[in-house]
Structure 1
């Protein structure tokens, strides 16, 4: 995979299930508008099969052709999936998102949480990023070459593996420290080393070892249980938070709600050379096709992908396009345009129209 500033980026589009076919096109429109406003060549989009529709057409929720094609692209937008509703044997397999993260070693799950002016934030001053290790920790299905990492030696006994390794902790810590340098130079390490002295203890120790290479970043650490309390009391004081897989997943849902709702919570799954934009929320099948879905999380996730591309390839114009996407969303909400979940009356498409209009006018 290669890219040069000034040449069109090749990005995949995987609409997914439920509200995915509504919110992913909204994100595509925002990307196109932002790149045009920044004077960058338009994206070459490639739509690929995934999810329930792919089961019908290809016999798999994640067809081989999709994985093979993604390997040739610069990045992709992944819509939510409703794997719990898939027929067997597809339901029991690793879901498409997890399979893509594992196949492409997308080890960094980056989840910002920032309140929107005019939104419904519990803690409006929230402005932080959860950096979640995405390949091991306490998520059993990320820890084995084959199998799920869970097993039952007896009908009433279930066991799951939690794996922590120095190289993988080092690389997620590096992502977190570099991000802190781009933000407010503060990093919080979340762990449970007082009880899980070997596993979570290794996570804490390696992160603190890495801190020696970043003397400009102020570092502290908190136990996971204490962290939930501190977030409720003083979310606005945190900058970048690094955590293992399960702790990071739980904290990012909490911070998403503090900032307004999971409907506005974006995320990016990245390795050193690939990135997948994916909203933090689910497929919401109960409102699919009604026009009620909030596309903010997916739109902001697409902006994160542009920012990642801009940083990776030193492309200032695509990085500028990322800034324009977030500004367009924030301006629309501040102007009183929002979907019903945020107290507004706009449909999914109408909100996307408002964002595109503000991107073009900026």
Structure 2
């Protein structure tokens, strides 16, 4: 059988070190699947040297092969520099949806009633970001304006992916935009959520206004949830939801590209950890690779290949079980380094897949 290709996007500082840890877990003798892992160096130095040519090349490879795994990278602040590689990747790949999932880490105390995973599915483009802004008048009579836009195709992609994600994870679709105040603009997403609910009648559906969504997160029953959102609403929600679990170490981020209809299967997926490059931890073998490992697992789980799906599940379960049994890095109160933690996940993943094969 032809090897599945995952395009590897290298990064900066600790981001690169944690990517290398995740790649150790993806080796064929661990996951039982032959994977092709072509690498592109997206370090700041190489992006500058190629004037972002390497970023465009990496995006083209992800479009061709459908899967990408990215390390955390540095975005320089200076005008005229190479800017954000994530923006280029998003545009070149055609990413429409960003999915960030928070989950409880064994031994880490969550906030409130949060227990089961919560995924925020938000628009990757449009809405408040990239809106045209201007001002008129002066003094206290000065007025600021902003013209925002969303597209029905994008609303449909967010809604459809939300219901598919809920279907896969046994979750309910919860929340939504402020459609009562903005029935024309924000109501477009609500219309697509309602239409997706009709296409997926087996998925529990509890639409809520965005302000009620924030309030009810803390008092929820602890059931798994998928929350579809506009771009800025989802950005803010992600920043709230992930820390609710006590640490973002168990959270991964997915960029999803779709065809023109918005309800087709994804055409490309790029996974990464939700954290940054952590320069203070570079070279010390103490950083937590958990989020990068879970990002790799999420990528495998999203494929249509049963062997890859099984490998993704094995990695995820092995990681969480290891932490539950006290195998933790310092940020979670443990004494394992990056290498030792990864070694443990490798051993447990192999054992799980061996046992499942025997059954």
Question: TM-score w.r.t. structure 2 length?
Answer: 0.86
Q: Does residue 109 of structure 1 match 2:101?
A: no
Give the structure 2 partner of residue 251 of structure 1: 237
- 1:126-137 alignment to 2 at 5 Å? 126-137=116-127
CA distance in 1, matches of 2:132, 2:11: 27
Unaligned runs of 5+ in 1: 1-5, 141-148
Partner of 1:212: 198
Alpha-carbon distance between aligned partners in 1 of 2:318 and 2:6, rounded to the nearest angstrom: 21
Q: Does structure 1 residue 7 correspond to structure 2 residue 5?
A: no
Contact 2:104 2:115 in 1 (8 A): yes
Partner of 1:240: 226
Instruction: Tell me, in whole angstroms, the C-alpha distance in 1 between the residues paired with 2:290 and 2:221.
Output: 21
Partner of residue 17, structure 1: 12
Q: Is the 8 A contact 2:10 2:42 kept in 1?
A: yes
The equivalent of 2:346 in structure 1 is 356
Q: 2:169 & 2:62 partners in 1: Cα distance?
A: 30
Q: Pick from 52, 55, 62: which aligns with 2:47? A: 55
2:142 matches 1:167? no
2:272 equivalent to 1:278: yes
Q: Distance in 2 between matches of 1:114 and 1:203?
A: 26
Count residues in correspondence: 339
Query: Is 1:98 aligned to 2:87, yes or no?
Result: yes
* Cα deviation code 1:239-271 (max 9, x no counterpart): 221112221222122221122312221121122
Distance in 2 separating the partners of 1:130 and 1:356 = 29
Q: Is the 8 A contact 1:131 1:241 kept in 2?
A: yes
Structure 2 unaligned runs (5+)? 258-265, 353-359
Shift in alpha-carbon separation, 1:175–1:124, aligned structure 2, 3 A: closer
Cα distance in 2 for partners of 1:29, 1:131 equals: 29
Q: 1:68 to 1:61 in 2, by over 3 A?
A: closer
Structure 1 stretch 296-305 or stretch 259-268: which is displaced more? 259-268
Per-residue deviation at 1:151? Answer: 4.3
For the Cα contact (< 8 Å) 2:62–2:268, is it kept in 1?
no
What is the DSSP-based 3-state SS (H/G/I as helix, E as strand, rest coil) of the residue aligned with 1:40?
Answer: coil
Equivalent-residue separation in structure 2 for 1:61 and 1:80 (angstroms): 18
Aligned-pair distance for 1:38? 4.9
CA deviation vs aligned residue, 1:54-77 (integer Å, no higher than 9, x gap): 234323385443333333334111
TM-score (norm 1): 0.85
In angstroms, what is the RMSD of aligned CA positions? Answer: 2.4
